[in-house]
A and B are shown apart, each in its own frame.
Chain A
Amino acid sequence: MKLRLGLSLSLLLVAMPLAAQHAYISSQAASKITVVDIDKQDIMAAVDVATGPVGISLDNQRNQLFVTHPEMGVVTMIDTKTNKKLGEIRTGGQPFAIAVDPSGKHQVFVSDWERNAVVVINPETKLVVDILSVGKNPAGLAIDSKSRRIYVANRNSDTLTVLDADTPRQYAEVKTGKAPYAVTVSPDGKRIYVTAIQDNTVTVISGDDYKVIKTLEAGIAPYGVAVTPDNQWLYVANQGTNDVWVFDTQHLQRVAKIDVGEMPESISFTDDSQYAYVTNWFSNTLSVIDIKSQKVIKQIAMPDGPRSLGRFIGD
């Protein structure tokens, strides 16, 4: 029995492509990006960036990382092979959440808190190519590559704007809870989840007709929201209750509450749906959750003010 287990494990290792994964953590107060090796569950590098980094997005095809700096009106580009800065893109306004187009089309979408807009960047020319009007103070933003849709949470309009990823077209503006913050799309594109900080809810919206399917009760002040790559679990980080709530996506029922650090902010998963990483803004840590046992297995110390709004784990 033991022998067979060992054999199958080694076969598995040979069969699986070992793409090394990393978590990229923006520390807003320390103005640093910390790179965490997912295999070792430990820090491997740190990159100094401009003041106040917040939003994160990865271009896995081109090995590039994009980081927003709301205070500076710029986006930093980093080469993830060398962890060296490639340059800065001037957006103006207050660039907040960011999402690379995963289709390979060379465009990056950024919510602009101050100008009530989504700014579209061409990273090749480092220029703003379009500015699309959305609701008041857009915060979280997500892209569904297959359906070519952009979802934007308008913090002070209590709505979600649905935009086209290729043409300046708006499909819908959907009512959410009070003060929507983060937004994520399920891996199959069928559902959009939006956290609302002020009424402690998660709005579940259909990706087909943009109708509200259900409103889930969250802990106090839910911020980050994410779905496991296997589409089984929905994770919500609650700043007021210092925990993560886990919902089963099939029944939309809560199945666990996991205590993490203080004032958790953002959640991302490893590709194999085995681990969740959570940034804890107040206590300056990164919690590693084992998804199977629903327990925190490690806390990694981070520079001051870890946030990493967006999907922060990639190659």
Chain B
Amino acid sequence: MKLWATALMASQLFVTSLAFAHGPTPQKIDETIVIDAPVETVWKKVSDFNGIADWHPMVESVTSPEEGTRVLKLKGKGEITDSLDEKDDAKHYLSYRLLEENIEAFPVSFYTVSIELSKANEGTEMSWKGRFYRADTGNFPPEQYNDESAVKAMEAFAKTGMASLKESLEGKK
């Protein structure tokens, strides 16, 4: 009985944990930007869950197989799928999570993201927060799948999206 368990353990020791969709070590990003446009104007763009390709230059196109689910085709890369958790029009708050990972397209095995808008003088402060796990959640990840690569990818996606949204909304004034 015990021997069995031990043999089972030994065989599992060498299994790569790449297939696990989650791990014990989350990372975070916390980005903000001030956009010179009213909160409602920014919210109209941000709250349209399937409309992200309109303002995010890293997203080529979006399809929605069912309500609350979006498949993002990343520019020059593959697809990842998000699932909407909460959309609160009064709080201007949106949260979603990664439903299907594709670490070759985006080196993160799982994330939850929340975006919130608040009034800042005449404009809007946009906050983008994420909790996520590296692509390879084992203890010896290759460089392209480690924590640093995951943080870089999450940061780049948030920053590029917010900067582009700011540019388009402020330019239209």
Contact = CB atoms under 8 A, between A and B. Distances in A.
Contact of A52 (B1, B8, B20, B25): B25
B129 A282 contact: yes
A132 B139 CA distance: 21
B37 to A, nearest CB: 25
A116 B12 contact: yes
A132 B86 CA distance: 39
Interface string A59-72: 00000000000111
A240 B25 contact: no
A156 B21 contact: yes
A133 interface: yes
Given A96-B24, A282-B129, A220 B86 contact: yes
A148 B159 CA distance: 52
A133 B9 contact: yes
A271 B23 CA distance: 32
Contact of A132 (B5, B17, B27): B5
Interface residues of B, number: 27
B9 A239 contact: no
Contact of B139 (A28, A114, A240): A114
B73 interface: no
Nearest to A221: B112
A28 B138 contact: no
A115 B26 contact: no
Contacts of A299: none
Contact of B1 (A116, A117, A168, A179): A168
Contact of A281 (B22, B23, B85, B131): B131
Contacts of A114: 17, 138-139
A285 interface: no
Given A117-B9, A282-B129, 14 more contacts: A28-B25, A70-B24, A71-B24, A114-B138, A114-B139, A115-B9, A117-B12, A133-B8, A133-B9, A137-B20, A240-B95, A240-B112, A262-B129, A282-B28
29 contacts: A28-B25, A28-B26, A29-B28, A54-B25, A70-B24, A71-B25, A72-B139, A94-B23, A114-B17, A114-B138, A114-B139, A115-B12, A115-B13, A117-B9, A130-B2, A132-B5, A133-B8, A137-B22, A155-B22, A156-B21, A168-B5, A220-B86, A221-B85, A221-B112, A240-B86, A240-B112, A281-B26, A282-B30, A282-B131
Interface of A: 28-29, 52, 54, 70-73, 93-94, 96, 113-117, 130-133, 137, 139, 155-156, 168, 179, 220-221, 239-241, 262-263, 281-282, 305
| 3 residue pairs, one from A and one from B, having the closest CB atoms | A70-B24, A133-B5, A96-B24
